[in-house]
Every structure is written in structure tokens, then in C-alpha cells.
Amino acid sequence: MRFIKLNIISSSVVSIRVTRTSGLNPADPDIYIYKNGEQVQKADNTGANAEFLSTTLPAGNYVVEIKEYGYSSSNAKLTLNTFQQKTSNSVQLQATAAAVSSCTPGNDSIVSGNLTFDRVYHAGTALNYSDIRPLPIQQALVEVICNSDGHVYSSMSSGSAGDYALSFPKNQASFVRVKAQMRNGAAWNFSVVDNNNTVFDIDGNPLKPVYAMDGDFFTVSTDQTKNLHAPSGWGGSSYSSPRVAGPFAILDSVRKAKDKILSVANVNFPALNLNWSVDNSTASIGGSFYDGTEIFLLGKENNDTDEYDEHVIIHEWGHYFEAKFSRTDSIGGPHSGGDILDIRVAFGEGFGNAFSAMVTDDQFYIDTVGRQQDYGLFIDMEDNNCTNAGWYSECSVQSILYDIYDSSNENLDSLTLGFSGIYNILVGTQKDTEAMTSIFSFIKLFKDQNASSSNAIDLLLNAQGIDSVSDVYGSTQTTSNPGATNQLPIYQNY
Amino acid sequence: MKMQNLFLFLSIGLLLSCNQQAQTQANAQAKVQPHNQAKDISKQRQHVHAVTKPHASIFMDYEIVNPVELNRMLDIKLTFMSKRNTDMLSVEYSLDAGLSANGEPRQFEFKQLAKGETKSIVLKVMPEQAGEFSINVYASIEINGKNQSRAFIVPISVPQSANSIQSQAVTEKPQGNAANKGMRFMPEQNVISMPANESSN
């Protein structure tokens, strides 16, 4: 016997990993899945000593066969920890599988309700703990977990009102879990994870745990309502209980950024982890940042917390967007509003700031820090009076981009072009520009697509000390050297 | 092809250069350990090309002047610098339980700070327990009437004293943040489980 019987209650992702534990070395295990005797999936790669298969299976009964290549199944005796114990003279394999609940279905009840989290709002540049409001947890992964084995019995994404309704095994102890994870097939997969509690899979890949809000386990015989709320944990002068709302506040900001992109284009998003922890401090991770693969966010109380600073989260998500959908040549590093920056950094950071205001339709970027989160940093996208304005200023870049986007026109701003035009340049011609990515490349390419707005764009540029742009290299820039240095022309000809 | 070779050469050269610099810094730190540390941490922890959030234009270095010992006053020199002319610099700090300031001032204010100019203060802190602690420093600057703040941490590692080890009268390391309690790492399910407030209406 070397078969595993799988009973899939509802459509589930099933992951099976097989590894050699002893005997023949190297071994070459393979995995086959059958339904009614017909093979529906297989994994028969030639890698030594391990095999892995992950697939979505509709509800139904399946048979999994695990065998060692080169040996007939009847000789390949297996060690199947999860299901049954077997041994072999030739090789011993260990199989583990996930996502299959041992709670037995039949006459399920329906458990439904609403999911909410506390959002702490700002007062000036501080978090205002007198202004905490419950908001719906939208598009998060909700699961009914069979209490006896921890497996998922049923799952769905919460609705726009934070609503859910799931099958619940009748008279079998289970509970409702809400993950700080937004998943929709291949379209997106955003997870808020803890970077301070990492385990490693068999291949040495880090598995960072996802934050999850769990209800108490219970049994039902009839349909029931269960509302779950994620509290902030604020106790009056400090956080005195778990900060459950934090990961869901982060997820909510990510949802807004994702939806902004989806409002202008139907795209799939590469998976992204957002690493957050109450131990992430300016000493342990520096500042919140995107490293080209993942986002890291501060969470240390009395130092710097970013879970309620939407602009900070979306700023970093904007860097992810640039890297995955557009192109950024930024060399990164620390930066402030009045800094004279490398043109690549100035554009990337100015875009990040402006993007956060576009997504939220809130011109005020607020980043709270300090004791009881009572201090902060404040940037007004509509304050066009930038210190050290110019092509090397993130403030100038954010001012120009936001004025191109926004519907509020003031002084020299007569533009209300919205997001789609900006998006089209970023994911289009800006990706292939021969020059470095900068305000020059963006504006030249944007003008090419919006010729009727060219003069109005030049007014915005001139107000920031940037000469009218006619090519991606900024070759018409003859004024506005940064500080006392001579950096012109920006590109030398050879 | 030549450009590629040149780029490769430059890259290797840069890597070697960085490596040598890192070793030099590590050696320099080792020489002054355990009680001399001076660094802007925000520059060290992140990936080389990490793109970060903006911060207030204020920077801080710190130096732990004398050896860290239990129940012996510790001098910590904080040095601040801004890349911009500021109308005001104010500094405030708070201490983890286990450290005390013994009535020393908690707030400092400088009327003006010119671009590139440095201002230093010395904190006097008493380590009252062995363990790992933080001094949370908050620096605020005012530029053109706008206030911006940045937070820093000075980590303090207080060893147990020989006397306390002999007498077994070691004070316990403070327990973790109360807000952490109730968060359970469940590796078999790969989640951090947090308790919900539930209702049934």
C-alpha cells in the first residue's frame, strides 16, 4: 500500500512535499494524483531526493500515489507521516500534505458575520487615540479552521463591507480565522507577515508567518452569526494588549493602492510580502523600505510605527509598483524633502510621495513617530514652495506629478489629467527610455502623449526651477544648478 | 563588449573596495568595544538599494562614553546634525524601565542649527537592571515655520555585575512588551495568531 486517499471538501490548494529520509541515495520520488482512476496531476521532476506538487483541486475524492522512480510501486514502501506509516528496503520517503481538513462534511451550518479593524486616525502629525474608528476588513482571506487538526475547512475573501459567510462543520469544534492576506488566484497575493518569526522549508526557503485574527472555537448545529473585530490594543497611555488591528490597517492601505492601479488597467500583481512587527524599530530595520523584493515597515511603539500611516505604506508600495510594472533606476538611500538628490532618487521618491496622495486622494503625507506616536513628519503635496527646488528635488517631482493628477487647480496649476495618463507612461515608454529614469524622461514622454498640455506642464516645471523639457536627457536644462556645484549639462556628449 | 568588461571590472573593484571598507570599520569598532559606539543606524541596516520613506532632515550619532556597568552612571553623548539651516532643534528622550535618569533633564533645545553644524548633548543614565534596553530619542527641527521630527534608538546592553552573579541577586530582564502577549507564533500553520473580539449579534 502506497496510496493516500484525499477527500477535498471544497475547492482547495493542495500541497504535497515528498522527501527522502533514508535508504537509496539519491532517490527520485514522484507524485501522481488520480480521480476515478484517471491521472489529473503529476510531479515527476528529476531532482534528487525531493518532489513537490501544489495544485488546486475541486471538491471530490482523489488518490495520491507516491513512488520512487525506477522501482515499481509495489516495492516502494513509504513513510507517510501525515497519513500512514510505511517502510522500505530500497528507500524511505516522507510525505506531508496540507489543506485537507479532517472535519467531516455533511449538513453544514453557515457561519456569517462582519469583520472590522480599528483605524487610528491622525490629529496633525500625531496618532489620535481619541479618534479610533472600526472599518471593514475588505478582501481578506477568511477561513473556517477545523480545530482538531488546524486544517482549512472552507474559505473565501471578505466582501467590501467586511462581510463573509462560510460553511461550518456541524457539531465539530472549529473557529473563524481572518488572515492579513489578500489573495485572488494569479491576480494578486499580498500578505502582511512577521519578519521576526521566520521558519524555513525543506529547501531552506524562509516561510514568514502571516498575521491572523482568530476567534474562539465553537460548535454549531444551526446557522450562526460571528462578527470578528481587530482592536488597536491601545490602553490609554501605551499599547496594553495585542495590536491586532495593525496588520489589517496595512492590508487596507495595500488594497487601496491595488485598486488605484486596477481603476486604470486590468493587471496581475506579483506576490508581495509586507514585513511588519511590533519589534521593527529604527535600530533593527532603519526606516520603512522596499528592498526590491519585499516591503519592511516599522512597528516599534514609542519609536516609529507606520501601520496607521497610510502614505508611508503606499509610498513603499509605489516603489514596488515602479520595480514590478515600470522601471526605476533609483540607487536608494536616505532622503529628506529639501535634499539635493541624484535625479534617479529624486524621481523615485517624489513619485512615491505623490502616488501616496493620489491613491488616498489626500494631499497631506503624515508619518507619525515618537513617544506615544505624538510627533511626526508632514508633507503637503500642494505646497509648491520647495526648498532647493529643481530637477534634483523629490519635493519638486511630487509637486509636479500631483498637480498633473489632481482636480484642485491653484496658481500655475491648470491641469487635471488624472492617473491613467501617468500610469500609461510609467508602464509604457518610461520602461524603455534610453536615459536614466528621472523627471526629464517622464515629462518628455508624458508630453509626447499629452501634447495639448505641454505649455501647462512647462509652467509647473518652471515654477520648480526646471527649464522646459524637450528630451529625456534634460539637455535644455541650462539653469538651476544644485547649490554651488556645476552639474550641467546633466549628460555629457561624447 | 569592452563596456561590459569595464563594467565587470568596475563592479569587482567596487565590491572589493566595499569589502575592505567594511572590514576596516569592523576592526575599528572592535578596537573601541565595548563602550564606544558611534553610528547612524539608519544607514547600516538596509539593503544597498533599499528605497526608503522620507525622514526629517536631522541626523544623530551617539557615543557611549564610559563602560556600561550595573548601577554606575553612564554618559551617552548624542550629536545632531542637519543638512539644512534650521530655526530650532529640540531633543527629548525616554528610557526603558531598567534605566533611570535620576532627575536629569529630559528635554533640550537649541535656537538655531546651521546647515552642517553639529550640536551635542550628554545624557546621564543609570542602568538599574541587567539586560537589553533602549533610549528613545526624539529630535524635532523647525524649518520655515514647519516642524518635522525623527526618532532614534540608542541600544544599551547592561551586563550583570560580578557581585550580582556571585550573590545570585540578579535582577530579571524586563518582560517583553505587554502588547506582544496574546500573539502566538504557530509554525505548523505558519501564522501569528492574534485574538479577535467576537460578537454574535
B186, A209 contact by CB (below 8 A): yes
Give yes or no: residues A77 and A123 share one domain.
Answer: no
Give yes or no: residues A158 and A296 share one domain.
Answer: yes
Per-residue pLDDT, A41: 87
Give yes or no: residues A69 and A164 share one domain.
Answer: no
Measured on CA atoms in the order A154, A160, A162, A165, is the torsion positive or negative?
A: negative
Packing angle, helices A439-449 and A420-427, rounded to 10? 120
Give yes or no: residues A181 and A292 share one domain.
Answer: yes
Give yes or no: residues A361 and A441 share one domain.
Answer: yes
Residues of B in contact with A375 (CB under 8 A): 138, 140, 149, 151
**CA B196 – CA B178 distance, rounded (Å):** 17
Is B182 in Cβ contact with A316 (below 8 Å)? no
Check CB contact of B49 with chain A, cutoff 8 Å: yes
Residues of B in contact with A238 (CB under 8 A): 178-179
Check CB contact of B85 with chain A, cutoff 8 Å: no
Give yes or no: residues A29 and A8 share one domain.
Answer: yes
Per-residue pLDDT, A10: 62
Strands A109-123 and A224-225 turn out to be parallel
Is A289 in Cβ contact with B190 (below 8 Å)? no
Interface test with B, best of A114, A237, A303 (most B CBs within 10 A): A303
Span between the terminal Cα atoms of chain B, in Å: 71
Per-residue pLDDT, A246: 98
Check CB contact of B2 with chain A, cutoff 8 Å: no
Mean pLDDT of chain B: 74
SS3 B139: strand
Q: What is the average pLDDT across B66-90? A: 94
- Residue A172 DSSP class: S
**CA A305 – CA A243 distance, rounded (Å):** 11
* Residue B165 phi, psi (nearest 5): -65, -45
Of the partner residues B52, B55, B180, the one whose CB lies closest to the CB of residue A278:
B180
Per-residue pLDDT, B161: 74
Cα angle A77, A29, A75 (rounded to 5 degrees) comes to 25
Per-residue pLDDT, A32: 85
Measured on CA atoms in the order B178, B179, B185, B189, is the torsion positive or negative?
A: positive
Residues 32-51 of A with CB under 8 A from B: none
Check CB contact of A403 with chain B, cutoff 8 Å: no
Per-residue pLDDT, A101: 61
Query: What own/partner pairs with CB < 8 Å and gap ≥ 24 does B72-77 have?
Result: B72/B126, B72/B127, B73/B102, B73/B124, B73/B125, B73/B126, B74/B124, B74/B125, B74/B126, B74/B127, B74/B156, B75/B122, B75/B123, B75/B124, B76/B122, B76/B123, B76/B125, B76/B135, B76/B154, B77/B120, B77/B121, B77/B122, B77/B123
Residues of B in contact with A220 (CB under 8 A): none
User: Which residue among A69, A98, A127 closes a domain?
Assistant: A98
Going residue by residue through chain A (494 aa), what tens digit of pLDDT does each one get? 356 777 766 666 677 777 776 666 677 778 888 888 888 888 887 777 777 787 777 777 788 887 765 443 333 333 343 333 333 334 555 565 555 566 777 788 999 999 999 999 999 999 999 999 999 999 999 999 987 777 888 999 999 999 999 999 988 999 999 999 999 988 999 999 999 987 776 566 778 999 999 999 999 999 999 999 999 999 999 999 999 999 999 999 999 999 999 999 999 999 999 999 999 999 999 999 999 999 999 999 999 999 999 999 999 999 999 999 999 999 998 898 889 999 999 999 999 999 999 999 999 999 999 999 999 999 999 999 998 999 999 999 999 999 999 999 988 999 999 999 999 999 999 999 999 999 999 999 999 999 999 999 999 999 999 999 999 999 999 888 887 788 899 998 88
* Residue A320 phi, psi (nearest 5): -60, -45
Residue B57 has pLDDT above 80, yes or no: yes
DSSP secondary structure letters along A52-110: EEEEEE-SEEEEEEEEETTS-TTT---BBTTTB----SSEEEEEEEES---SPPSS-EE
Is A286 in Cβ contact with B42 (below 8 Å)? yes
Instruction: Outline where A361-430 has alpha helix (H).
Output: 394-405, 420-427
Q: Which helix (H) or strand (E) holds A198?
A: none
Determine the residue type at A392.
Y
Interface test with A, best of B88, B95, B191, B200 (most A CBs within 10 A): B191
Residue A379 lies in a domain: yes
Tell me the residue ranges of DSSP E strands in A289-361: 289-290, 295-297, 299-300, 304-305
More confident residue, B19 or A184: A184
Residue A224 lies in a domain: yes
Check CB contact of B167 with chain A, cutoff 8 Å: no
Check CB contact of B133 with chain A, cutoff 8 Å: no
In which band, very low, low, confident or very high, does the pLDDT at B31 lie, cut at 50, 70 and 90? very low
Q: What is the average pLDDT across B170-188? A: 60
A297, A313 contact by CB (below 8 A): yes
Tally the residues of chain B.
Answer: 201
Give yes or no: residues A113 and A91 share one domain.
Answer: no
B80, B152 contact by CB (below 8 A): no
Residue A177 lies in a domain: yes
Q: What is the average pLDDT across B110-134? A: 94
Give yes or no: residues A10 and A64 share one domain.
Answer: yes
Give the list of residues 6+ apart from residue B30 with CB closer than 8 angstroms, or none.
Answer: none
Structural domains in chain A (count):
3
Residues of B in contact with A213 (CB under 8 A): 194-196
In which band, very low, low, confident or very high, does the pLDDT at B18 lie, cut at 50, 70 and 90? very low
Among chain A residues, CA nearest to B147? A377
Per-residue pLDDT, A17: 75
Per-residue pLDDT, B134: 95
Per-residue pLDDT, A93: 58
Packing angle, helices A343-360 and A310-325, rounded to 10? 120
Query: What own/partner pairs with CB < 8 Å and gap ≥ 24 does B18-27 have?
Result: none
How far is the alpha carbon of B59 from chain A, nearest alpha carbon, in Å? 11
Per-residue pLDDT, A94: 58
Determine the residue type at A191.
S
Determine the residue type at A112.
S
Tell me the residue ranges of DSSP E strands in B65-180: 74-81, 88-95, 99-100, 107-110, 118-127, 131-143, 146-158
Residue A400 lies in a domain: yes
Residues of A in contact with B42 (CB under 8 A): 282, 286-287, 334
* Residue B20 phi, psi (nearest 5): -65, -40
Smallest Cα–Cα separation from B77: which of B135, B159, B151? B135
Domain containing residue A291 = 109-300
Give yes or no: residues A246 and A373 share one domain.
Answer: no
Span between the terminal Cα atoms of chain A, in Å: 74
Is B50 in Cβ contact with A337 (below 8 Å)? no
**CA A370 – CA B55 distance, rounded (Å):** 13
Give yes or no: residues A195 and A290 share one domain.
Answer: yes
Give the CB-side neighbour count of residue A4, counting CA atoms within 13 A: 29
Q: Cell triple for residue A75?
A: 516495492
A381, A398 contact by CB (below 8 A): yes
**CA A147 – CA A145 distance, rounded (Å):** 6
Is B55 in Cβ contact with A336 (below 8 Å)? yes
Class of domain B35-164: mainly beta
**CA B155 – CA B135 distance, rounded (Å):** 6
Residue A281 lies in a domain: yes
Residue A489 lies in a domain: no
Check CB contact of B37 with chain A, cutoff 8 Å: no
Residue A425 lies in a domain: yes
How far is the alpha carbon of A350 from chain B, nearest alpha carbon, in Å? 10
Per-residue pLDDT, B164: 52
Is A285 in Cβ contact with B54 (below 8 Å)? no
Query: What own/partner pairs with CB < 8 Å and gap ≥ 24 does A403-408 have?
Result: A403/A460, A404/A446, A404/A457, A404/A460, A405/A354, A405/A358, A406/A357, A406/A358, A406/A363, A406/A381, A406/A382, A408/A363, A408/A382
